[in-house]
Structures are given as C-alpha cells and as structure tokens.
Amino acid sequence: MKKLFFVALLSAGLTSCFDTQTATVSKNTAKAAEQQPVVSVPVFNQDSAFYYVKKQCDFGPRVPNTANHEECLNFLAKELTRLGGSVSLQKADLRGYDGTIYKSTNIIAAFYPERENRVVLFSHWDSRPLSDQEDGTEKTALKKPVMGANDGASGVGVLLEAARNFAANDPKIGVDIVLFDTEDCGAPRWKQSQVENDWCLGSQYWSKNTGYTAANKPKVGILLDMVGGANPSFCIDAVSGYYAPTFAGDFWKVANGMGFGSFFKNVNGGQIVDDHYYVNTLAGIPTFDVIDFDTERGFPEMWHTQHDDVEHIDRNTLGMVGRVLLRYIYTNCAK
C-alpha cells in the first residue's frame, strides 16, 4: 500500500518512554562494544534474493482468494521449512473495504524458537488486486491486478535469502519471519472504504494475536517493503521515527557505515501507513519500516501499476538491503 497518513502521532506520555529506551540502549551498546569480539556477518546472496522474487512472480499476481495466491502460499511455507524455520500458518477470514471476505494466511517461520531474546522481520506476500495508480478508468484498473514484484515480493525475497543465512550461521538471537497476507487490498483511490483500517488486514490480525509471552516478545521489529526498485530512497518515516527511533537510527547508521548513505537518507521520510503502524500500536513491538518512499518523489513510479514487475527489479537494491539487514542483526541485535 501505503498511503499518506495525517494523524498527529505525538503525545507526551509516549515521548518519555522513548527517552528511557534510548538511554538504556545507548548504555548497553557502549558496554557491549567493549566486551564483544568481532562478529562475522554471513554473505547475503542477492542473486538468491532475486530468484525468490522471480519465483513468486512466476505464480502471477498473488491476490487473496485466487489460485495463484494459494500456490505461492504453499511454496513459501515449504521453502521456509526447507530453510530450517519452524513454520506455522495463521489463517483468518478478513473483511475488505467493500465487504469482501479474504481468506487470509500470515506465514510465520521461527528460527531458534527456544530463545527468549528475539527479533522479528516482516514483509507482505500478497499483491494488490487492482492497478489504481495506472492511467485509465476505474473499469480497466479493476481488471488489472498488480504483479507486485517490488510491492510485496521484494521484501519476501530478501527475507527468504536472510532465512537461509540464519539456519547456516547462528545469529545468536532468535529470529521470527512473519509474512503478512492481505496488506494491499485497500480501497481504490476513487472509492470510500466501508470499513475503517482497510489496508494491512493481515498485520492487524497478527498484531492482535502474536502468541508471544512477556518473556519472548521481540525487542525490535523490522519491516521490509518495496526494497527492490532501482535508485531507492529509504528515509525514516514518521511512525518508525516515533515508535522505534533508536532502532531505526542504528539501522540507518549501519547502512551509512557500509557506504549506502546516498540511498539510506537521514531525512524525514514523511507520514505513511504500513504494516509497522499496526505492529507498533496493537502488538507493542517497536518496529521500523525500510520502504522506498520520500516526501519529494513519493512512492516509486511503478507503484500500484502494471509496471511493478520483475523487469523493474534491481538485484543490487535487494543485495544492499539484505547486507544491511544481516549486518544489523548479527552486530546490533545479537547482544
């Protein structure tokens, strides 16, 4: 999805919580830096990530309630199991903007499930039923589901390749991968939704039903969304900056330290709604979004059009995001 979001986020009570969080994390970081040996970060294979993006697109658009969607679900569940994850499927019937009931499945893969210290990684695996950013009429847009190579498959591709690394190289922390369904079924831009919160249906459901205990609730969540386009612009959006400022700041620092500062920009990323909004507000897990969006350009031009296809995926972008992700997890999270 992701639409502009104009609700004022700031409130005095929450601000003081984050001050405490920031202070604690900084202290721990300084202490850990003195004691920690040099950590080796496994190599992220961008061709493998690209393979996974293409593989998803080979099923066609993964629109909920279609055969393509079901086939891709089976593939993703099988592949995550093969890669060593303990996979569970969280199924729910979720109501869309026009009353449609979507047979929705969040795919959850736990690595090192016995560990209490955990991080959780998110992406969405469904694709949008219609191309409402395409030039054309309402009638034509409705007949054109989006392939979602970038908007959906790119984040999943990076997480599958990351999963391969988690099994082969112990990250010294438990890792959960959650692939949300039914993220992108919100109302077309010319229609009013019949329900509130018509985007991100899968993540809303998961956030109310995480199954975590106080002991194993992840300390941070990372959402990847549209991480496969050429020349991306990753900025810290308002929700990430408000709910997970220290974690997001550290992630951007890692990216900058690796020489990716021209893509991971230290500028305000604007106000959007994405799955992380619900994870933060409903599940209470501090979560930031790595998403190709900035306030000047907006979303990538292929967004919600027929051009969001494999031909417009840049495997270097997948590689960059994957490398930053692994470095962040193996160096910043495993403490």
Size of site (CB under 5 A) for Zn ion: 3
Taking the complex as a whole, how short is the minimal distance between the CB of residue 86 and Zn ion, in angstroms?
A: 29
Alpha-carbon distance 271 to 179, whole Å?
Answer: 23
Alpha-carbon distance 156 to 243, whole Å?
Answer: 23
Alpha-carbon distance 191 to 65, whole Å?
Answer: 21
Taking the complex as a whole, how short is the minimal distance between the CB of residue 218 and Zn ion, in angstroms?
A: 24
Taking the complex as a whole, how short is the minimal distance between the CB of residue 275 and Zn ion, in angstroms?
A: 11
Closest to Zn ion by CB, 132 or 151: 151
Under rule CB under 5 A, residue 308 binds Zn ion: no
Rule CB under 5 A: which of 178-207 touch Zn ion? 184
Closest to Zn ion by CB, 1 or 72: 1
Taking the complex as a whole, how short is the minimal distance between the CB of residue 164 and Zn ion, in angstroms?
A: 26
Taking the complex as a whole, how short is the minimal distance between the CB of residue 147 and Zn ion, in angstroms?
A: 11
Taking the complex as a whole, how short is the minimal distance between the CB of residue 152 and Zn ion, in angstroms?
A: 7
Partners of 223 in the β-ladder: 122, 289
Under rule CB under 5 A, residue 1 binds Zn ion: yes
Closest to Zn ion by CB, 126 or 250: 126
- 112, 147, 250, 283, 331 from 327: Cα distances, Å: 18, 30, 11, 26, 6
Taking the complex as a whole, how short is the minimal distance between the CB of residue 196 and Zn ion, in angstroms?
A: 19
- 64, 69, 84, 145, 245 from 177: Cα distances, Å: 20, 19, 12, 26, 21
Closest to Zn ion by CB, 265 or 304: 304
Under rule CB under 5 A, residue 177 binds Zn ion: no
Alpha-carbon distance 78 to 15, whole Å?
Answer: 42
DSSP per residue, 265-301: EEEE---EE-HHHHIIIII---EEEEEB-BTTTBS-T
Closest to Zn ion by CB, 50 or 180: 180
Taking the complex as a whole, how short is the minimal distance between the CB of residue 187 and Zn ion, in angstroms?
A: 12
The binding track of 119-158 with respect to Zn ion, each residue x by CB under 5 A or -, is --------------------------------x-------
Alpha-carbon distance 93 to 179, whole Å?
Answer: 16
Closest to Zn ion by CB, 163 or 272: 272
Residue 148: left (phi > 0), alpha (psi -120 to 50), or beta? Answer: left
The binding track of 30-69 with respect to Zn ion, each residue x by CB under 5 A or -, is ----------------------------------------
What number of other Cβ atoms are within 10 A of residue 238's Cβ? 18
Closest to Zn ion by CB, 87 or 185: 185
Helical ranges in the chain per DSSP H = 12-35, 46-58, 67-82, 138-142, 155-168, 201-208, 238-243, 245-257, 275-278, 315-327
What are the residues binding Zn ion (CB under 5 A)?
1, 151, 184
